[in-house]
């Protein structure tokens, strides 16, 4: 892999349905991909990962490439998303994160006091710290042989901040939220630091070959509308704007960007005007309502309840048909409302993907 700012000579893209839908152009079928499509529900994934520490896997471009390609060997998905983790950004800031089986990602020393911010790297060279992700993207883009576009991603500042303070998952995010109420200035300082790293990181992903970008604000649902307005939305907006202007400056492709703020229905209108081509939706909102709030100028992505994949295959087909009728087949990317769960049956994932293609083609014809 060459690590110059823009590796050339990528294979020609054969299926650009996902990119066309993201840009609001007409498509023959509705494109579909799944969050966490490279994951533990696949036996081949578990086999590849078996002997490896999770973050060691993330740091191996070869393994990331293999894991990214696995679901595409099974299903006719319309996009690949690079195998990585949102917590590589706090690692780049100098924090230690380990994956504990049965518990999930755990920070050995979470941020406790405002003074702890001084321990973080204030200037991050993303190529030095996260170059392994860029290498994985370049290798995967070549290995895809133009089959489908490759999506790069990052966690959004508030979601990363909440992990860095909680030290892992939490049902209340009480520690992280207490910072927002007790230390608003320090919170903004941390969010700004994260946003700056994320901007460079996303631009670097495009330079490495990513053809679309998704920002995950997975913990948006822990904030009410006011805190979201103060501590999440401004950074989400800023990231879109800064990434686009840097891509222009560096003469890199202007790729479509997706914002996925889970459980943030109260903010859909704002998110539709935040500078992203696509707004991702979780399963707790009605498609018609989402369309009404976001208007005509953005593409929507989502929002089948992941647990619908536990239903019999015929039922999955019915649910997909209903979803497509509600969203419409255009300016729409089918997906789940969150990631696939580890105990899901791969055949049911296949049924979901095939139903999207079959029903959307049928609706488009008639």
Chain segment 260-269, per-residue pLDDT in tens: 999 999 999 9
- Asked if 49 is an active-site residue, the reply is yes
- Domains in the chain: boundaries: 16-365
pLDDT band for position 7 (cuts 50, 70, 90): low
List 163, 201, 276, 332, catalytic entry? 163
Structure tokens that stand for 37 in this block: 């499509």
Interacting residues of 353 by C-beta distance below 8 A, sequence separation 6+: 32, 34, 75, 76, 77
pLDDT band for position 3 (cuts 50, 70, 90): very low
Give the mean pLDDT of 92-108.
Answer: 95
List 36, 59, 141, 331, catalytic entry? 36
List 49, 59, 147, 331, catalytic entry? 49
List 5, 23, 85, 361, catalytic entry? 85
C-alpha 206/C-alpha 34 separation (Å) is: 21
Asked if the model's pLDDT at residue 205 lies above 90, the reply is yes
pLDDT at 4: 47
Instruction: List the single range of 7-21, 132-146, 288-302, 311-325 with lowest mean pLDDT.
Output: 7-21
Asked if the model's pLDDT at residue 236 lies above 90, the reply is yes
Beta strands in the chain (DSSP E): 80-81, 97-100, 104-107, 150-155, 212-217, 257-261, 278-280, 299-304, 332-336
Class level of CATH domain 16-365: alpha beta
- Asked if 40 is an active-site residue, the reply is yes
Nearest alpha carbon to residue 131 among 257, 235, 215, 7: 7
Structure tokens that stand for 356 in this block: 């999207």
Mean pLDDT of the chain: 96
C-alpha 98/C-alpha 87 separation (Å) is: 10
Chain segment 22-61, per-residue pLDDT in tens: 999 999 999 999 999 999 999 999 999 988 899 999 999 9
Asked if the model's pLDDT at residue 81 lies above 50, the reply is yes
Chain segment 298-319, per-residue pLDDT in tens: 999 999 999 999 999 999 999 9
- Asked if 85 is an active-site residue, the reply is yes
Interacting residues of 136 by C-beta distance below 8 A, sequence separation 6+: 60, 61, 64, 65, 68, 82, 83, 84
Give the mean pLDDT of 153-174.
Answer: 98
List 5, 23, 40, 192, catalytic entry? 40
């Amino acid at each position: 892999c060459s690590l110059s700012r823009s590796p050339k000579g990528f294979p020609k893209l054969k299926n650009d349905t996902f990119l066309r839908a993201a840009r609001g152009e007409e498509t023959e079928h509705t494109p579909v991909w799944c969050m966490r499509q490279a994951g533990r529900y696949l036996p081949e994934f578990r086999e590849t990962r078996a002997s490896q520490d999770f973050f060691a896997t993330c740091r191996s471009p070869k393994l990331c490439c293999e894991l990214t390609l696995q679901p595409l060997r099974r299903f006719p998905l319309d996009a690949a998303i690079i195998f990585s983790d949102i917590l590589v950004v706090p690692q780049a800031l100098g924090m230690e994160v380990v994956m504990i089986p049965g518990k999930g990602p755990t920070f050995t020393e979470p941020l406790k006091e405002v003074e702890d911010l001084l321990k973080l790297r204030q200037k991050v060279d993303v190529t030095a710290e996260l170059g392994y992700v860029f290498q994985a993207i370049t290798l995967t883009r070549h290995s895809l042989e133009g089959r489908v576009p490759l999506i790069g991603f990052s966690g959004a500042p508030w979601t990363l901040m909440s992990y860095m303070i909680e030290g892992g998952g939490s049902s209340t995010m009480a520690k992280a939220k207490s910072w927002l109420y007790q230390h608003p200035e320090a919170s903004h300082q941390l969010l700004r630091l994260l946003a700056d790293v994320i901007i460079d990181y996303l631009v670097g992903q495009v330079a490495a070959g990513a053809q679309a970008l998704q920002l995950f604000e997975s913990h948006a649902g822990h904030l009410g509308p006011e805190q979201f307005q103060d501590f999440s939305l401004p950074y989400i907006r800023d990231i879109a704007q800064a990434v686009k202007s840097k891509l222009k400056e560096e003469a890199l492709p202007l790729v479509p960007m997706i914002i996925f703020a889970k459980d943030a229905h109260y903010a859909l209108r704002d998110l539709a005007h935040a500078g992203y081509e696509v707004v991702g939706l979780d399963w707790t909102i009605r498609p018609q309502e989402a369309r009404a709030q976001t208007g005509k100028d953005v593409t929507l992505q989502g929002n089948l309840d992941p647990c619908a994949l536990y239903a019999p295959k015929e039922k999955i087909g019915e649910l997909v048909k209903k979803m497509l009728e509600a969203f419409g087949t255009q300016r729409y990317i089918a997906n789940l409302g969150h990631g696939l769960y580890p105990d899901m049956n791969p055949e049911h994932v296949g049924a979901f993907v095939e139903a999207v293609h079959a029903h959307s083609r049928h609706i488009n014809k008639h």
